[in-house]
Structure 1
Amino acid sequence: MEIINTIIGKNGFVFAFLCVGVIMLISFWVSKHVTNNKIPGVAISIIIGLSLAFLGDEKGISNITLFTGLALLGGPMLRDFAVVATAMSADFSKIKQAGLAGLVSLLIGVFISFSIGILVGLSLGYTNIESLTTIGAGACTYIVGPVTGTAIGASSEVIAISVATGVVKTICTTIGTPLIAKKIKLDNPHSAIVYGGLIGTTSGVVAGLAATDEELVPYGALTSTFYTGMGCLLCPSLFYVILRFLASPHISN
């Protein structure tokens, strides 16, 4: 066992790929033989991964010596590289066809998520503008929340809540996308572009579309990436000012 631990410790990144491969193998077997392909294998693997992460602490199970390589494999560097790399297979002509729809979906998506986030903040008992704006931004994505909270001076507690809100949204998107794809006709590049603009959380959209149809990933990733940038632009500026103007007579500072 000591020899095995030493070998794995020196090759943690390679062992992480092996772990993911085993999980994928099991997931696709379960998908084929247990669910009769009604639940995609990728979706099952995502659920298994989230379950394993839940068993660990703030870094999942990567704090266990045997699984330290998962911290790098699942870290932001490789995640962002994978998201950016998806643009290589996108068809520009199809992106142009969804130009206006993509832009409208971005604006609607950011606004709706922000509004829902405000309702979440109110339900948690927060009444000041800074806190509500930060939680609303977190409902856009878990990146927009901290950016907005830092910009407008929200407390660290509220920023943490905004991140948690965004993470919950990502998890729901990841698991829910392949389950509702047929019902909402998410089966072509145009719908994927609109879907990415409406939902916005890049990690969730990419993972969900990968479990649905890998060819749709570049299109959903395109607008969902812009979504984060638009949220970082609008939430701490225009949305914050509008919220102060509309709610200041009714909500305490």
Structure 2
Amino acid sequence: MDRFVSVFENNGLLVAFALVGTLILVSEWLSRKLTRGRLQGSAIAILLGLVLAYWGGSTTGGHAGLADFAALSGLSLMGGAMLRDFAIVSTAYGVDLRQIKRAGPTAMLSVILGVLVSFAAGSVVAAAFGYTDAVSMTTIGAGAATYIVGPVTGTAVGASSDVIALSVAAGLVKSVVVMVGTPLIAPLIGLNNPKSAMAFGGLMGTTSGVAGGLAATDKRLVPYGAMTATFYTGLGCLLGPSLLYVTLRAILGQ
């Protein structure tokens, strides 16, 4: 047994790919047998992954899910920011420029509305829980946009580490909800073409959540949703510590 564990530890990334591949195969089988294809296998894989991550973290008392087990430590690299961002950036190669031009103003409007609505909602929730100063409301509101915009904004406006942590938590919850919920609501909102995918990515903004959700819906839509979601993150990082912060201070009279 010790020899097997040693082999797994020394080939962590390969083990991670093998485990995730097996999980996807099982999920596709469950999709065909239990839902007759109505629920995408990718969506089932996401749900199973979250359950396994929770079980791994609660069993070991750690904070990295299944990666807390030494034999599965390669999952922390596979699921880390480096490979995640590489996968998201690589989706740009699947973009059809004609579809982007066709979406034009709609996509840009969705990005602007997405940032403003998310920020407003996050700020209101922050105030409801007692964070009524402009710095905290701005930071948590920015976190409601994405878990990247929150820390960037919080650091710029001088928020405490506790408030920045809350902004990250808000963004992570949003990302998971979007990832799991996208394939469920896609048929209801007509999320089945590049134009709607760009509008959806612009409104939701969380790049990892949008990419995962669209992959579970229709992998051909991932490049379009991820593209506008990436612009959303950039716009949020630009507006959060500047215009939105100044505006909120003026409204609160601080």
User: Is the shorter-chain TM-score for this pair beyond 0.5, marking a shared fold?
Assistant: yes
The one-letter amino acid of 2:187's match is K
Q: Which of 183, 188, 193 is the matching residue for 1:183?
A: 188
* Structure richer in helix, relative to its length: 2
Equivalent residue number for residue 65 of structure 1:
70
One of 137, 143, 154 as aligned partner of 1:138: 143
Corresponding residue SS for 1:127: coil
- Relative to the length of structure 2, the TM-score reads 0.96
* C-alpha distance in structure 2 between counterparts of 1:103 and 1:35, whole Å: 36
From 70, 80, 85, the equivalent of 1:80 is: 85
Note the aligned Cα RMSD (angstroms). Answer: 0.9
Equivalence for 1:228:
233
SS at match of 2:66: coil
Q: 1:90: which partner in 2?
A: 95
CA distance in 2 between counterparts of 1:245 and 1:86 reads: 40
Identity of aligned residues (%): 53
Query: 1:154 pairs with 159, 162, 169, which one?
Result: 159
Which residues of 2 match residues 9-158 of structure 1 at below 5 A?
9-55=9-55, 56=57, 57-158=62-163
Residue identity opposite 2:34 in structure 1:
V
Deviation (angstroms), 1:86? 0.3
CA contact (8 A) 2:115 2:236 kept: yes
- How far did 1:35 drift? 1.8
1-structure distance, mates of 2:96, 2:218: 15
How far apart are the structure 1 equivalents of 2:252 and 2:33? 55
Q: Which amino acid aligns with 2:130?
A: G
Gaps of 5+ in 2: none
Please tell me the residue identity of whatever aligns with 1:211. A
Q: Distance in 2 between matches of 1:172 and 1:236?
A: 26
The 2-side partners of 1:119 and 1:245 are apart by 16
Shift of 1:149: 0.4
Deviation at 1:162, TM superposition (A): 0.3
CA deviation after TM superposition for structure 1 residue 123, in Å: 2.1
Q: Which position in structure 1 is the counterpart of 2:7?
A: 7
Q: Describe the SS at the equivalent of 2:187.
A: coil
Name stretches of at least 5 consecutive residues in structure 1 with no aligned partner.
Answer: none
Q: Which amino acid aligns with 2:6?
A: T
When the two structures are superposed, what TM-score results if normalisation uses the length of structure 1? Answer: 0.97
Q: Which residue type is aligned with residue 91 of structure 1? A: D
Cα distance in 2 for residues equivalent to 1:63 and 1:136: 31
Secondary structure of the residue that 1:98 maps to in structure 2? helix
